[in-house]
Amino acid sequence: MRATCINMVYELAKLDDRVVFVGSDLSPGFLEEMRREMPQRWYMEGVSEANVIGMAAGLAMEGYVPYVNTIATFITRRCFEQVVIDLCLHDLPVRLIGNGGGLVYAPLGPTHLAIEDIAIMRSLPNMTVVAVCDAPEMTRLMHASLTWPHPIYIRLAKGGDAVVSREEAGFRIGKAIPLHGSIGDTVALVSTGVMATRCLVAAKALAEAGVSACLLHFHTVKPLDVETLLDFCAPAEAVVTVEEGVRAAGFGSSVLEALADSLGSGLPPVVRLGLPDAFPEKYGSQDELLEWYGLSSDDIVAAALKALGPRPA
């Protein structure tokens, strides 16, 4: 997904001369072909995120579509005010590509873990927040991004992610995709980003346990597709949201807000799986931390069954 995203910047630049690339301090030879072919539209600006965002804003004010890339924590936290004022207040078509969303950089510790990125970015007016589930879906997103008139935060996963999306499902920014099951299923699993893969395994395991489960994949966290959310969740007996990020103000919170606003007392039980309100204290691998935080497919199944409560044999 990561390589696809970056390569797509170059592909889009070939299609549209408004596209420019702005990096901070990435690896040697980064997008080298683009650099050689269109040096005026390739910028590597050093460890200076505030200036990078403001410069991208200035370019966008002049009609360009800048794709900005660095590590997710630095493109969200480090320059948060520039993101708010430069991009969102001016409502400019700048794309922020954040490497290592969630727990990808597990061995590097809390300075590099982008676990609150979704929570803080979704709070910003005009911001669009996207976390696709695999490389083919990334390609579809990048094509769609070219004409989207607002700033976008694109959360990248580790790369080499299992492919679970389907081309025939189409892709529209702001439109959720049912990846499994159907309206009326007992449990609605609702996820964003690569957690779709674990949820898919969980949905199939629930079916084997005699519980029908649908899976709604939100590649777009904001704007949230409330219509599809209600279609699948309103009739469900339990809703389980799954995200690789903090539960506080995160994706699950946005789902809960939307369901509560629409369903009121008819709200089914909603369980939000995610990370606690604490800095991670462990290292290891992304998968190890996901297990540690109860985000395995087995954990998702267990949470769904618990939310349903005792059921007749």
Partner 1 sequence: MSKASGTLMSSSSAPLDERSKQLRRLALRALAGGNRGHIGSTMSLIEILRVLYDDVLRYRPEDPHWPGRDRLILSKGHGCVALYALLADKGFFPMEVLDTFCQRDSILGGHPEASKVPGVEASTGSLGHGLAYGIGMALAARMQDRGTRVFVVMGDGETDEGSVWEGALAAGKHRLSNLTAVIDYNKIQSAGFTEEIQTLEPIVDKWRAFNFAVAEVDGHDVEQLRAVLGSVPLVPARPTAVICHTVKGKGIPVAENKPEWHHKAKLTPEMIEQLYAGLN
Could you list the residues that contact partner 1 (CB under 8 A)?
40-41, 43, 45-46, 48, 50-64, 81-82, 85-86, 89-90
Closer to partner 1 by Cβ: residue 65 or 200 = 65
Nearer to partner 1, 3 or 89 (CB): 89
Minimum CB distance to partner 1, residue 99 (Å): 20
**Side by side, which strands form the sheet with 19-23?**
42-44, 19-23, 65-71, 95-99, 152-155, 128-130, 220-222
DSSP, res 103 = T
- CA distance readout (Å), 182 to 215, 273, 311: 8, 22, 21
Which of 19/115 has CB closer to partner 1?
Answer: 19
Tokens of 208: 């084997």
Calculate the CA dihedral of residues 150, 248, 307, 295 and round it to 10 degrees: 80
Name the minimum Å distance from CB 79 to partner 1: 9
Element (H, E) at 49: helix 49-61
Of 53 and 103, which has the nearer Cβ to partner 1? 53
- Closer to partner 1 by Cβ: residue 57 or 246: 57
Give the ranges where 102-225 is alpha helix by DSSP (H). Answer: 117-121, 135-145, 195-208
Rg of the chain over all Cα atoms, to the nearest angstrom = 19
Give the Cα separation of 310 and 313 in Å (integer). Answer: 9
Residue 291 CB, shortest distance to partner 1, in Å, is 40
How far is residue 299 CA from its own chain's centroid?
21
- Residue number, 53 or 164, with CB nearest to partner 1: 53
Q: How far is the CB of 3 from partner 1 (least distance, A)?
A: 27
Q: How far is the CB of 42 from partner 1 (least distance, A)?
A: 11
The secondary structure of residue 237, as a DSSP letter, is S
Q: Which DSSP letter does residue 114 get?
A: B
Q: Measured from the CB of residue 50, what is the shortest distance to partner 1 in angstroms? A: 4
> Can you tell me the distance from the alpha carbon of 115 to that of 118, in angstroms, rounded to the nearest whole number?
7
Residue given tokens 């969200």 in the structure block: 76
Omega prior to 151 cis, within 30 of 0:
no
Nearer to partner 1, 11 or 45 (CB): 45
**Cβ nearer to partner 1, comparing 63 with 312:** 63
Euclidean distance between CA atoms 105 and 159, whole angstroms: 12
Q: Measured between alpha carbons, how far is 247 from 266 in angstroms, rounded to an integer? A: 23
Give the nearest distance from C-beta 296 to partner 1 in angstroms: 42
